[in-house]
């Protein structure tokens, strides 16, 4: 299930100008389709996180940039770790 | 439900500033997206966020302090966090391998393992894409070749196998989203919606149809054309057929998996001539036996 730009703005309550800034910063990278951007559930959850960082935690734009960059690296590490675990399980079947 | 003051670790006399500070301190360490591996973080964060919803709002706090609402009044609805999607294909544009790039550069066994793991992720199969395709009832029985216009542009040729039922999902191998590296594309999953046909109804492998017949066909019998999903056939209506009489056309139903076919059941419906025919009226009023037969005999007793 994806949302188009209008649905996304409506459900997230994010002002259009703010969204454009976030897209410019590449904090959000929705899939590009002929009908415009298509926001996945991951994009929507990510937008909610950015909103919480800014409003609840008073993180400024530079801070959000750093948090997202570190978070993406952390998830990269987690994924490679998950893949390692899978490889090891396959290689060493339980006796 | 714990007392929200206890949850945030502040005194009931705390100022709004103290409450906000306490919340931020807790929330920063508990936010699920800042703790992607900690399953318990979500519950704890929910509790803290719920307490802050209540105490961070002067109006709600006043009502809670006076006992008008309890701590459950601020329970937060569950919503998915980014971490729930971070490992999915949806998060691919955000993927960042720089966190371990240096470890993977080495020539030791561990670097080799990391590279392989990264490769395996890089060569993931593409996602399956879901579509919905409405088809005509007749095509669901007979099978057909149709073309699906994709919402993202382009088309997909779909071969409808005969005997398909409403809601069935067709899998077109390799027609999904492209994969990464050597991963190969995903599949297209097409849910078929069989549009209703005013003439036919389907029950299992059998098809039923209501067929209007004339009075003379009902009384004298005759051969009448009947629509079936495979075209018209001629059917013999026996003499003395009535409204409600059901005739069976063997093998004219939906194809079965074992190679056979279901049947088509034709329910007759006698229709008097339109407009009313004076000759028929004259005949029936002179017809001696007409009043002798009471079709409601066993129903009105």
How many angstroms separate the CA atoms of A54 and A64, rounded?
7
pLDDT-based confidence at residue B260 (cuts at 50, 70, 90): confident
Residue B45 Rama label (left phi>0; alpha psi -120 to 50; beta): alpha
The helix/strand count (H/E) of chain B reads as 9, 11
Residue B38 at interface with chain A, using a CB cutoff of 8 Å: no
A42/B90 Cβ within 8 A: yes
Question: Does residue B118 belong to the interface with chain A, where contact is any CB pair within 8 Å?
Answer: yes
Interface mutation vs chain B, best among A71, A86, A87, A91, most B CBs within 10 Å: A71
Among partner residues B34, B82, B113, which is closest to A46 by beta-carbon distance? B82
Indicate whether A90 pLDDT > 70: yes
pLDDT in tens, B47-72: 898 899 889 888 888 888 888 888 77
> For position B266, what pLDDT does the model report?
95
A66 at the B interface (CB within 8 A)?
Answer: no
Interface check B37 vs A, CB under 8 A: yes
Mean pLDDT for B219-231 is 92
The mean pLDDT value for B4-17 works out to: 91
Residue given tokens 């051969």 in the structure block: B223
**Bigger pLDDT: A42 vs B120:** A42
On the question of pLDDT at B300 being above 70, the answer is: no
* Predicted local distance difference test score (pLDDT) of residue B131: 86
Task: State how far the Cα of B217 lies from the Cα of B80, in Å rounded to an integer.
Answer: 66
Are B138 and B253 within 8 A, CB to CB?
Answer: no
Question: To the nearest whole number, what is the mean pLDDT of chain B?
Answer: 86
> Can you tell me the mean pLDDT for B238-249?
93
Min distance A95 CA to chain B CA atoms (Å): 23
**B211 has a pLDDT exceeding 90:** yes
Q: Which of B3-17, B79-93, B99-113, B173-187 has the highest mean pLDDT?
A: B3-17
Mean pLDDT across the stretch B83-91? Answer: 83
Decide if A74 and B99 are in contact by the 8 Å CB cutoff. Answer: yes
Q: How far is CA A92 from CA A95, B23, B120, in A?
A: 9, 46, 18
Q: From residue B206, give the alpha-carbon distance in Å to each of B200, B242, B261.
A: 10, 22, 8
CB contacts of B94 in chain A (<8 Å) are 29, 42, 46, 68, 72, 75
| Confidence label for B18 from pLDDT (cuts 50, 70 and 90) | very high
- Which pLDDT score, from 0 to 100, does residue B225 have? 95
ipTM: 0.85
pLDDT of residue B77: 63
Residues paired with residue B147 on neighbouring β-strands, in sequence order: B157
Specify the pLDDT at position A94.
Answer: 60
Residues 5-24, chain A: which have Cβ within 8 Å of B? none
Place of tokens 């609805």: B77
Residues in Cβ contact with B114 at an 8 Å cutoff, skipping those fewer than 6 apart:
A80, A84, B100, B103, B104
Residue/partner pairs of B186-189 with CB below 8 Å, 24 or more apart: B186/B125, B186/B126, B186/B127, B186/B128, B186/B129, B187/B128, B187/B129, B188/B128, B188/B129, B188/B131, B188/B156, B189/B128, B189/B129, B189/B130, B189/B131
Residue-wise DSSP of B92-136: GGG---TTTHHHHHSSSHHHHHHHHHHHHHHTPPPPPEEEEEEE-
Cα A90 to Cα A80, A83, A86, B123: the distances in Å are 15, 11, 6, 18
Mean per-residue pLDDT, B241-250: 93
Q: What is the mean pLDDT of residues B36-55?
A: 88
Q: pLDDT by residue (tens digit) across A7-51?
A: 899 888 899 999 999 999 999 998 877 677 889 888 999 999 999
Considering only residues B75 and A66, tell me which one the structure prediction assigns the higher pLDDT. A66
Task: Tell me what pLDDT residue B88 has.
Answer: 79
Contacts of B102 in chain A (CB under 8 A): none
pLDDT for position B76: 63
How many angstroms separate the CA atoms of B229 and A36, rounded?
42
Which of B24, B87, B116 is closest, CB to CB, to A79? B87
How far is B85 from chain A, CA to nearest CA, in Å?
5
Write the residue in A29, A74, A76 that is nearest to B93 by C-beta. Answer: A29
């Amino acid at each position: 299930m994806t949302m188009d730009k209008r649905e996304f703005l409506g459900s997230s309550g994010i002002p259009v100008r703010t969204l454009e800034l976030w897209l410019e910063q590449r904090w959000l990278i929705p899939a590009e389709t002929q009908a415009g951007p298509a926001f996945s559930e991951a994009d929507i959850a990510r937008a909610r996180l950015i909103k919480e960082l800014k409003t609840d935690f008073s993180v400024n734009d530079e801070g959000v940039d750093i948090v997202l960059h570190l978070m993406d690296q952390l998830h990269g590490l987690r994924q490679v770790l998950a893949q390692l675990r899978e490889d090891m399980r396959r290689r060493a079947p339980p006796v | 439900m714990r007392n929200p003051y206890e949850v945030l670790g502040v005194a009931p006399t705390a100022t709004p500033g103290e409450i906000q500070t306490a919340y931020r301190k807790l929330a920063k360490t508990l936010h699920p997206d800042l703790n992607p591996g900690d399953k318990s973080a979500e519950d704890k964060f929910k509790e803290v966020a719920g307490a802050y919803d209540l105490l961070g709002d002067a109006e709600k706090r006043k009502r809670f302090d006076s006992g008008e609402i309890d701590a459950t009044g601020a329970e937060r609805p569950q919503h998915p966090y980014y971490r729930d999607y971070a490992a999915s294909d949806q998060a691919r544009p955000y993927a960042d391998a720089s966190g371990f790039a240096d470890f993977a550069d080495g020539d030791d066994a561990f670097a080799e393992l990391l590279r392989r793991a990264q490769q395996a992720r890089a060569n993931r199969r593409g996602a399956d894409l879901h579509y919905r395709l409405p088809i005509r009832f007749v095509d669901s029985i007979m099978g057909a070749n149709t073309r699906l216009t994709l919402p993202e542009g382009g088309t997909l040729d779909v071969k409808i196998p005969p005997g398909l039922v409403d809601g069935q999902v067709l899998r077109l191998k390799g027609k999904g989203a492209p994969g990464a590296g050597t991963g190969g594309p995903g599949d297209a999953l097409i849910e078929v919606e069989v549009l209703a046909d005013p003439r036919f109804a389907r029950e299992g492998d059998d098809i039923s149809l209501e067929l209007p017949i004339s009075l003379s066909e009902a009384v004298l019998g005759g051969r009448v054309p009947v629509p079936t999903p495979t075209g018209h056939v001629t059917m013999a209506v026996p003499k003395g057929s009535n409204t409600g009489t059901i005739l069976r056309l063997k093998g004219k139903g939906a194809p079965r998996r074992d190679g056979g076919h279901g049947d088509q059941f034709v329910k007759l419906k006698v229709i008097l001539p339109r407009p009313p025919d004076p000759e028929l009226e004259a005949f029936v009023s002179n017809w001696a036996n007409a009043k002798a037969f009471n079709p409601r005999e066993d129903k009105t007793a």
